[in-house]
Amino acid sequence: MRVTGVSITPPPTAAGNPKLTPELLAACAARYSRNNEGLPVILSLIDWDDPDKSVDRIFKMADYGHASIKGLTGTIALFIDDVSMYMAYMLFHYSQMCDGQESSTRYIKMGPEGLLPAETLGIPAAFAEEWKTLMLEGFEHYQEEYARLDTLARERPELVRYPEGANDKVKDRIRKNFGLDRARYFLPLSAKTNIVLLMSARMWEDTIKLVESQPHPEAKALATALRTEFAKFAPRLEKHAHAEESAVINAQSCVDDWAQAIRKNGVPVKNLSGEVFVGVDNNFPPFMRPTRSLAESVRGKRNRYSPVGQHLKRIFVRAAWNNMAVAELRDLNRHRTGNRFSPLIPVGFYLPDEIDPAPHQDYLNRWADFSERMVASGAEGAAAWPYAMLLGTQVAYEHGQMGDKFVYMTELRTGMGTHFRYAELVRKAGEEFIRLLPEAKSCVQFGTATPE
């Protein structure tokens, strides 16, 4: 694991503009809100031989609950190499306001060398060898299916749905996506990935707290590495970036919930048929009802990036799926808006229509039996469950957000080039949204999810 903070250098066109560290920026912005003297005067008050003096005065206020000051540091970019897919999932889950990217299973073919060591992840010693054998076997099933699907795509190009007029280079990329998109369900969630997140010091502080609250050794090591790099950019805030009791209790509650469910129901390996729930809150105060219809709120809308009116923005939408594969969970979890939640309780195992489950059934049965035994072995084994999961593991997932953000997600995740499976799941939620609120039909422009 490696964490690297990256500073932003101003372009030549801004060479003459003021240059401030993240904490000096926050100090100046905080003073800016308390008088009307203007930026040039504030900058003139900085003692450049001892700039920390003014910074220290401002950040004392953060100790008294003025958390907004921590958000004035601007964007801090941290690149995180070689963390597990599970930890990357949790980073996005915790980093509600981040911008970020993760290594894509759609473009990168993965191999067994990407499996992290059992001791790094907290796999109980008594189960470590069996765990490693099963995870490496998962890579074998992934690679075998990718090779088979690639051959199938060459023999039956109509399955890939190449765009009209696509050249050989584009066809090669789309064919690769076709195979990787369908084979990835055998990949372990314990496989290595890389992730970059950009957010303010306030958000980094909260994220590091929550990461450290998890019971996993990888989480503790990651929190320490993040804090060390974070301190280079916001040294006065590093002391706040530690786990709190409430976060530790909440993290343990999640472990207890999935452990109890697995002990009771096991780890199912059959594909669970889909069920979608959508709840729409379209109620408004009697003294502030919408003055425009939903259709009027999207008049002139060209695409998902176009601004929309207040009526759509004031509707709350809760969408939930009973059978979201972890592969798609990782993708949909990256949306910044609203609240996203999964209990990570296994309810089935998804494989696409192009993969016959029969040749893989013995492996999945052995994997499920192992997972059940490890979770039942005690606290350490229960906590390690996410690191035994494969991307095909199905779990329930809920996302609550405002109507305009739900429409944006629906259009993005059914649009050109999207993954076939989450396009299918999100479209079902969008259709249910319209069934419940027929006047919203004009608000949603479903995509075709065709390859780029």
Give dist(CA 338, CA 326) in Å, integer: 19
State the pLDDT at residue 38. 87
| 259 has a pLDDT exceeding 90 | yes
State the pLDDT at residue 147. 97
> Which stretch of DSSP H or E encloses residue 140?
helix 128-155
Long-range contacts of 117-123 (CB under 8 A, 24+ apart): 119/217, 120/1, 120/217, 120/218, 120/221, 121/84, 121/190, 121/216, 121/217, 121/218, 121/384, 121/387, 122/215, 122/216, 122/217, 122/218, 122/380, 122/383, 122/384, 122/387, 123/374, 123/384, 123/387, 123/388
State the pLDDT at residue 291. 93
| 61 has a pLDDT exceeding 60 | no
State the pLDDT at residue 60. 56
State the pLDDT at residue 64. 42
The CATH 3.30.1360.170 domain(s) of the chain lie at: 252-443
State the pLDDT at residue 62. 46
| 450 has a pLDDT exceeding 90 | no
> Is the separation of the CB atoms in 172 and 179 below 8 Å?
no
| 353 has a pLDDT exceeding 80 | yes
Band the pLDDT of 140: cuts 50, 70, 90.
very high
> Mean pLDDT, to the nearest integer, of 72-97?
93
State the pLDDT at residue 94. 94
Q: Whose structure tokens read 């290595």?
A: 192
| Of 28 and 196, more confident | 196
The mean predicted confidence, pLDDT, of the chain is: 93
Chain centroid offset of residue 353 CA: 26
| 317 has a pLDDT exceeding 50 | yes
Selection from 275, 331, 277, 282 nearest residue 443 by Cα: 282
CB-based burial of residue 299 (10 Å sphere; 0-12 exposed, 13-18 middle, 19+ buried)?
A: exposed
- What is the per-residue pLDDT across 377-430, written as a single tens digit (0 to 9) for each? 999 999 999 999 999 999 999 999 999 999 999 999 999 888 999 999 999 999
- What is the per-residue pLDDT across 371-387, written as a single tens digit (0 to 9) for each? 999 999 999 999 999 99
State the pLDDT at residue 73. 84
For strands 339-341 and 393-402, give the pairing.
antiparallel
Residue 214 CA: distances (Å) to CA of 26, 37, 245, 335: 30, 46, 11, 22
- 2-80+192-243 maps to which CATH number? 3.30.1360
> Mean pLDDT, to the nearest integer, of 169-187?
94
How does 308-326 read in b/e, with b if 16+ C-beta sit within 10 Å? bbebbebbbbbbbbbbbbb
State the pLDDT at residue 96. 83
| Of 375 and 448, more confident | 375
| 46 has a pLDDT exceeding 90 | no
State the pLDDT at residue 238. 87
| 364 has a pLDDT exceeding 60 | yes
- What is the per-residue pLDDT across 262-313, written as a single tens digit (0 to 9) for each? 999 999 999 999 999 999 999 999 999 999 999 999 999 999 999 999 999 9
| 163 has a pLDDT exceeding 60 | yes
Q: Whose structure tokens read 């189960």?
A: 127
Band the pLDDT of 336: cuts 50, 70, 90.
confident
E strand spans, 118-203: 192-199
| 5 has a pLDDT exceeding 60 | yes
> Mean pLDDT, to the nearest integer, of 22-41?
81
Q: Whose structure tokens read 């990835």?
A: 184
Range with lowest mean pLDDT among 43-52, 101-110, 190-199: 43-52
> Is the separation of the CB atoms in 2 and 80 below 8 Å?
yes
Give dist(CA 278, CA 398) in Å, integer: 10
Band the pLDDT of 57: cuts 50, 70, 90.
low
| 65 has a pLDDT exceeding 60 | no
Chain centroid offset of residue 172 CA: 28
- 252-443 maps to which CATH number? 3.30.1360.170
| 55 has a pLDDT exceeding 90 | no
Which residues, at least 6 apart from 36, have a Cβ–Cβ distance to it below 8 Å? none
Q: What is the phi-psi region of residue 234: left when phi exceeds 0, alpha when psi lies from -120 to 50, beta otherwise?
A: beta
